[in-house]
Amino acid sequence: MLHAMLKKVAILVLSVLGTAVSAGDLVTRTAQVHSIDHGYEAMLINALEKIGDNRIHEALDELEMLTRLQPDFKLAQLVYGDLLLARSHPITDFGNNYNAPLDVIDSLREEARVRWQHHISPLAESRIPRSLVELNASQQYAIVVDLESSRLYLFENRKGVPELFDDFYVTIGKNGFGKYKEGDQKTPTGVYFITGFIEQEELPDLYGGGAFPLNYPNAWDIRLNRTGYGIWLHGTPTGTYNRPPRDSDGCVIVSNRDLQRLSDYITIGETPVVLAEQIDWLSRDEWQNKRRQFDQFVEQWRRDWESRDADRYLSHYSQTFTGLGNDYQSWVNYKRRVNPSKEYIRVKLSETSMFLYPGREDVLVVTFVQDYDSDNFQRRYVKRQYWQKEKDGKWRIIYEGSVS
């Protein structure tokens, strides 16, 4: 009788995960999953695997240890409570023994589902997100968040090639993603950069172990009239291990433990954070081809500027261009007056990074150190450009501005 009740718990748990798992399936899938150890999450996944394999008593042991080590892990407490209750009472649903409102139970079910789906999804470590076109030498790490699956991926820059280094469960906006206006409780999608760090002592407890602000709204957001502010990567409050998949006002949230781990790999002003509805993965060959393509048209812009031929140079600018205090026509007038008057123009670009906007292939963010030298003017500064592929198929600059 006890065995039958425990087996029913296993069926209920697996129905929530959206997966029918047999022992044979688990052996096959385990060979495909990520090898990175996620600590408490790994213990939870091990317990779920044991439930799926009908090794209920071993799952109980795993969950007992996990709930002792991290008593604030609500999902682990829920599964553990169901298994304990099934020893003496019949249960009718996943979360049967959890004294909480239905919406809380539903959020924990969703958390179980996204954690499990990540676990069983094969991810070849040689694949690269389409958005990470090029990292400069100062960007030792890059962050890409798959908002749909509530997962943050940390990539290491290994001799110019982004390689998967670690990944983390995250919480996003209550109303999902695609932020457009202030107060919509959505997480933005786009290419952002970490602008600073706010210490735990300077923040309300809601933000946990600290916060890394992002540069939302960026130039593209402003162009699209997106409003709002205060989009951060931050931790969780006291007494909370993690929050449900969709539970923030637009920020990206990780556990305090994971925030501490991530902080070792974040460089203020350098680390990019790509927020994508879903990550579009490329093979290494596909990624290298894309990088070469984008390198070529940025290099052509640089050469045409050095040519002092204003028309060649201006052919790289969209008629919708804004930036550096100019609209398109004032920029045209200025460059047609200045470029031909120079005896020479030399432009050197270094520390270049490029990021394709997630969810679309027609917007590219390019940042570089620009060394400009002419017969009567020299300047070095960090510049950021937004390029867009226009209807005629040509990439043109729609925004240009100084980062520092």
Class of domain 284-402: alpha beta
pLDDT band at 89 (very low <50, low <70, confident <90, very high): low
Range of weakest confidence among 14-23, 186-195, 228-237, 255-264: 14-23
Residues of the chain with CATH 2.40.440.10: 128-282
**Whole-number pLDDT of residue 349:** 98
**Whole-number pLDDT of residue 22:** 41
pTM: 0.90
- What are 385-402's pLDDT values in tens digits? 999 999 999 999 999 999
In percent, the amount of the chain with pLDDT more than 90 equals 76
- What are 193-213's pLDDT values in tens digits? 999 999 999 999 999 999 999
- What are 7-41's pLDDT values in tens digits? 544 544 555 555 544 433 433 333 333 444 468 99
**Whole-number pLDDT of residue 99:** 66
Averaged confidence pLDDT in the chain:
89
Chain-centroid distance of CA 169 in Å reads 11
Which helix (H) or strand (E) is 232 found in, with range? strand 232-234
**Whole-number pLDDT of residue 18:** 57
Q: How would you list the strands of the sheet with 151-158, edge to edge?
A: 161-169, 151-158, 141-146, 272-276, 190-193
Q: Does domain 128-282 have CATH number 2.40.440.10?
A: yes
Q: Give CA–CA dist 191/32, Å, rounded.
A: 30
